[in-house]
Chains A and B, each alone.
Chain A
Amino acid sequence: MGSNMTNALSKLLETRDWLLADGATGTNLFNMGLSSGDAPELWNVDEPEKIKALYSGAIDAGSDLFLTNTFGGNASRLKLHDAQSRVRELNRAGAELGRELADKAGRPVIVAGSVGPTGEIMAPMGSLTHELAVEMFHEQAEGLKEGGVDLLWVETISASEEYKAAAEAAKLAGMPWAGTMSFDTAGRTMMGITSADLAKLVGKLDHQPLAFGANCGVGASDLLRTVLGFAATGTETPIIAKGNAGIPKYHDGHIHYDGTPELMGDYAVLARDCGATIIGGCCGTTPEHLAAMKEALETRPRGDRPSLDEIAEKLGGFSSQSDGTDDSGPERRKSRRRG
Chain B
Amino acid sequence: MKAIAMSEDDDLILSDLNDEELVEQMFDDLYDGLKEEIEEGVNILLERGWAPYRILTEALVGGMTIVGKDFRDGILFVPEVLLAANAMKGGMAILKPLLAETGAPRVGKMVIGTVKGDIHDIGKNLVSMMMEGAGFEVVDLGINNAVEAYLEALEAEKPDILGMSALLTTTMPYMKTVIDTMVEQGIRDDYVVLVGGAPLNEEFGRAIGADAYCRDAAVAVETAKTFVTRRHNQMNA
Residue numbers of A with Cβ under 8 A of B are 24, 26-27, 29-30, 34, 36-40, 76-77, 79-81, 119-121, 125-126, 158, 182, 184-192, 247-251, 253-255, 283-284, 320, 322, 324, 329-333, 335-339
Contacts and interface: CB of A to CB of B under 8 A. Distances in A.
Contact of B119 (A38, A119, A189, A339): A119
A227 to B, nearest CB: 19
B168 A188 contact: no
A186 B74 contact: yes
Interface stretch (B26-34, B49-57, B128-136, B155-163): B26-34
B25 A26 contact: no
Interface of B: 1, 4-10, 12, 25, 28-29, 31-32, 34, 66, 70, 73-80, 82-83, 115-123, 143-144, 146, 167-174, 176-177, 198-201, 203-204, 207-208
A80 B199 contact: no
B75 A80 contact: no
Nearest to B176: A250
A336 B28 contact: yes
B207 to A, nearest CB: 4
Pick from A37, A40, A190, A330 the residue with the most CB of B within 10 Å. A37
A330 B77 CA distance: 13
A191 B119 contact: no
A249 B203 contact: yes
Nearest to A258: B203
A164 B156 CA distance: 43
Given A333-B66, A337-B9, A337-B28, A188 B77 contact: yes
Contact of B117 (A80, A126, A249): A80
Contacts of B70: 330, 332-333
A337 B144 contact: no
Contacts of B204: 248-250
B8 A34 contact: no
A338 B7 contact: yes
A318 to B, nearest CB: 11
A283 B199 contact: yes
18 contacts: A29-B170, A30-B169, A36-B170, A76-B119, A80-B119, A158-B78, A190-B78, A190-B122, A190-B123, A248-B201, A250-B204, A283-B169, A324-B74, A335-B29, A336-B7, A337-B4, A337-B32, A338-B6
Contacts of B119: 76-77, 79-80, 119-120
Given A283-B199, A337-B10, A330 B172 contact: no
A-B pairs, top 10 by smallest CB distance, nearest first, are A186-B74, A192-B77, A37-B117, A339-B7, A250-B207, A37-B116, A335-B28, A36-B173, A119-B119, A26-B169
Given A192-B80, A332-B75, A337 B115 contact: no
A198 to B, nearest CB: 14
Given A26-B169, A37-B118, A80-B119, A333 B28 contact: yes
Contact of B82 (A80, A121, A254): A121
A337 B123 CA distance: 29
Given A36-B177, A250-B176, A24 B9 contact: no
A331 B75 contact: yes
A84 to B, nearest CB: 11
B118 A192 contact: no
